Amino acid sequence: MSLEVTPYRRVNDLDVKLDQVQDAVSDSLNSIAPKQILAGHILNVNFSGAGAKLITHGLGRNIIGWIVIDKDAVADVYRTNKDNPKSFLNLTASAAVNLKLWVF
């Protein structure tokens, strides 16, 4: 699931008030659109037990980071190394766990 920000498109109109609203909306969206954390997607990852896993992140670029947004067990999860960050995320879990990650 990708949640990238859709570019803002103005409506051409002669209404001055509408132009002011569009300017305000444009300023707000332009301030958040370049945030790298928004350019990501959700990955579901399953660890059947403690150990390492090489995960294809699917970003098509170097990964900047990742956040655990849900997990179903008590387990530490951490990055093992940064080999080939353009394609993979290498994680290790301390126990069996199902994760939902936001990768960006």
pLDDT at 5: 60
Is-contact 3 33, C-beta < 8 A?
A: no
Averaged confidence pLDDT in the chain: 88
What is the Cα–Cα distance from 100 to 46, expressed in whole angstroms?
9
Instruction: Give CA angle at 42 (83, 88), nearest 5°.
Output: 10
Beta-sheet strand order (sheet of 97-103) = 41-47, 97-103, 66-71
- pTM for the full predicted model: 0.68
**Residues 19-55 pLDDT 10s:** 889 988 888 877 776 677 877 999 999 999 999 999 9
Sketch the domain layout of the chain as residue ranges. Answer: 1-34, 39-103
Instruction: Give CA angle at 54 (51, 59), nearest 5°.
Output: 145
**Residues 66-90 pLDDT 10s:** 999 999 999 999 999 877 888 999 9
Task: For residues 9-13, give the mean pLDDT.
Answer: 80
What is the Cα–Cα distance from 63 to 54, expressed in whole angstroms?
13
